[in-house]
Amino acid sequence: MSDDRGHVGTTAVWAGEQHDSPNKDVALPIHHSVTFSYEDIDEWFEVAVDQKPGYIYSRNKNPTVRPLELTMRALDGAEEAISFSTGMAAISNTLYTLLAPGDRAVAIKDTYGGTNKIFLEFLPRMRVDVALCDTLDFEAIEAEIRKGCKVLYLETPTNPTLKVVDIARLARVAHEQGATVIVDNTFATPVNQRPLELGADLVVYSATKYLNGHSDAMGGILCGPKPLVDAVFHYREINGATLHANTAYMILRGLKTLELRIQRHNENGQRVAEYLRQHDKVESVFYPGLPDHPNHDIASRQMDGYGGMLSFSLKGDFDQVKRMLPLLRYAHRAASLGSVSTLVGPPRVTSHVELTPEEREAMGIPESLIRYSAGIENAEDLIADLGSALGKL
């Protein structure tokens, strides 16, 4: 990233430190206060109607939460950013702000499980027409967009099979229809991919994953042009899915090491994927950094790194997975991803537990698939650990 923002690593450290504490704190103070007092009633009014900067009530704005938003705004090169209590709050508040009864939304089938529920259950209940397309059939997605739509919703790379979607190509077609393009950038983070530079209008995150990075805080972020983000902020103020100051502090602290961590996640993802691909107990490996990944070329064009997420299937059935996972020493068998420690889980018991084997097969999810969120450990140890577990099968 160039221009006046500075490089990613610099922005991540400094953008949140330009707060004006009277004590000149170097670390951001955590403002627990729910409300903020005014001697001057005229000033209170001016702050209340946004004529003057300031804070009124922490459901709306808070002086610890705001620096996190400013940091994400800078990292994504956006005009504005706001935060939420979780990633799902960011996604649902954004969709519920932009879509009204009678509108049409186009999305890919491989969105995060919670997002998929919004498309399949909650938006249809609001009488929003939803078209879910095959994630890798860009022509079919374009055809659906051309039937007219208000929102195009993408996520890339996807969970759990690391499909890569061409953001620039689909955003162009969506803009011909006047649609708003939303990209969930949770897997890539602004270090590896900046959707706004590729033509997206809005970018959403689960900050619970890489942005915080330590599996100890939940949050969500939305970045984009001020009018759109302000509209979602107006909804969130009333909907109430606000991020707490304590949590904002933790995410902002995590963000300071984002570039360092992602560099290591990228390196570990690549090395583990290459190791697994040549292993005779492994059937297939899904990782955008492998040259035979179906969209390796798109990934190379639109990403600065391939990330720490990968998945692989074992030769044999699900019993092999049940035997292998407990043998790993350097991996938590747990849901979620994007932590400093390696996390593994089979989609069959996590993200895709509610589907039948046939439905998983239709989504290209083998029964013996293992999702692997490579942490920031030393790659040699991760590879030795995998080798030892696979060797015992």
Ligand X SMILES: *Cc1c(COP(=O)(O)O)cnc(C)c1O
Active centre residues (catalytic): 59, 112, 184, 209
The length of the chain is 393
* Closest C-alpha among 218, 298, 269, 266 to residue 371: 269
* Least gap, CB of 88 to ligand X (angstroms): 4
| Contact letters for ligand X, residues 57-86 (x by CB under 6 A) | -----------------------------x
Q: From the CB of 84, what's the least distance to ligand X, in Å?
A: 8
CB 261 within 8 A of CB 210: yes
Main-chain dihedrals φ then ψ at residue 95, nearest 5 degrees: -65, -40
Closer CB to ligand X, 159 or 302, in the complex: 159
Among 8, 218, 321, 365, binds ligand X (CB under 6 A): 218
Integer Cα distance of 310 and 306 in angstroms: 10
Q: Facing residues of 276 across strands? A: none
d(CA 276, CA 317): 17
CA dist list (Å): 92 to 97, 104, 158: 8, 16, 18
Q: Does 387 bind ligand X (CB under 6 A)?
A: no
- Strand 104-108: give its sheet, edge to edge: 80-84, 220-224, 202-206, 180-184, 151-155, 104-108, 129-133
Amino acid letter, 244? H
Candidates 67, 87, 213, 347; binder of ligand X (CB under 6 A) is 87
Stretch that binds ligand X, among 72-80, 133-141, 204-212, 357-365 (CB under 6 A): 204-212
Is residue 114 a contact residue for ligand X (CB under 6 A)? yes
Judged by CB under 6 A, the chain residues 252 through 311 that form the site for ligand X are none
Nearer to ligand X, 110 or 385 (CB): 110
Q: Which is nearer to ligand X, 63 or 346 (CB)?
A: 346
Out of 78, 105, 112, 198, the residue judged to bind ligand X by CB under 6 A? 112
Instruction: Please say whether the beta carbons of 130 and 155 come within 8 A.
Output: no
**31 touching ligand X, by CB under 6 A:** no
Question: Residue 205 CB, nearest distance to ligand X (Å)?
Answer: 8
DSSP 236-253: HHHH--PPPHHHHHHHHH
Decide: helix, strand or coil at residue 284: strand
Shortest approach of ligand X to residue 207 CB, angstroms?
A: 7
Tell me if 133 sits within 8 A of 159, measured CB to CB: no
Q: Which two tokens stand for residue 126?
A: 């609001």
Q: Does 208 bind ligand X (CB under 6 A)?
A: yes
Least Å from the CB of residue 302 to ligand X: 17
How crowded is residue 213: how many other Cβ atoms within 10 Å of its Cβ? 27
3-state secondary structure of 295: coil
What residue number has its CB nearest to ligand X? 87
Among 186, 215, 242, 313, binds ligand X (CB under 6 A): 186
Nearest C-alpha neighbor of 187 from the set 174, 204, 168: 204
The site map against ligand X for 127-156 (x = CB under 6 A) is ----------------------------x-
Under DSSP, the state recorded for 341 is S
Q: Does 184 bind ligand X (CB under 6 A)?
A: yes
- Applying CB under 6 A, among 58, 206, 295, 373 the residue interacting with ligand X is 206
Kindly tell me which residue out of 61, 209, 281, 352 binds ligand X, with binding defined by CB under 6 A: 209
Residues that bind ligand X (CB under 6 A): 86-88, 112, 114, 155, 159, 184, 186-187, 206, 208-209, 218, 220
